[in-house]
Amino acid sequence: MTKIIGLTGGIGSGKTTIAKYFHSFGIPIYIADDEARKLMQSSEIVAAIKSTFGDIVFENGTLSREKLAKIVFNEPAKLAQLNAIVHPAVKRHFKQWLLDNKAAAYIIYETAILFESGSYKDCDLIITITAPVETRVQRVLERDKTTRKAILKRMGAQWTDEKRTSKSDFVVENSTIEIAKREVDQILKILKIKQKHT
C-alpha cells in the first residue's frame, strides 16, 4: 500500500523545491497548487467561481487569478468559499493520481494548506518545511509580482510554523538549500528503514 507523505509549509518556505528534491530520488510528487491552477481552468469550476464571485474576477471573459487573490486574501469568508469550490476537485484528481502511482512505496503530497484543508487526515506521515520569515518574504518578492504587505497578509492567513510543526513527524529547516537537503537525506534514510520493517 502506497504511503502518503504530506509536505507543507508557509508561503516562501520552499515547499516545492524540497518536493522536487524528493522527486530526484524517484518519489512521485503531487503539487496541489499546480493541479488546482489547472483545474481552475475547467468550465465547471469557472462557472462555480462566476456564480460565487461574479464578473468582477474576470478580465475579457477569462478568470483573473490576481483579481481573485486580492479578494480572497483580504476576506477569510471569501477564501473559504473559494476553497469549497476548488478543494473537492483537487481531492478527486489526487485520488485518481494516487491510483496511477500505486506501485510507489511513498508519494509526496505537497500543499500549503495541508492542515487547514483537512488533507493531513489522509497522510501517513507529515513533513513541515520552515524558514525564517525574512527569508520567506525575500523569496516571494523575487518570485511574484507582489508587495511585502501582501505577503505578510497571506502569512497571517496561514497557520504558524509552531502550529504546523507540533503536528508533524519531521521538520526541515530550509534557510539554505544545503541544510534542507541534508535533513531530507536523513528523512529518506528513516523511510528506507521503515520500509524494511513493513
Contact 1, 90 (CB under 8 A): no
| H or E element that contains 48 | helix 43-53
Is 17 annotated in a binding site? The answer is yes
CA angle 15, 17, 18 (to 5 degrees): 65
* Residues 6+ positions from 140 with CB-CB distance below 8 Å: 11, 12, 146, 151
> Is there a binding annotation on residue 13?
yes
12 is in an annotated binding site: yes
Q: Any known ligand binding at 6?
A: no
d(CA 170, CA 189): 13
- d(Cα 194, Cα 198) in Å, to the nearest integer? 6
- Residues belonging to the binding site are 12-17
- Residues belonging to the binding site for ATP are 12-17
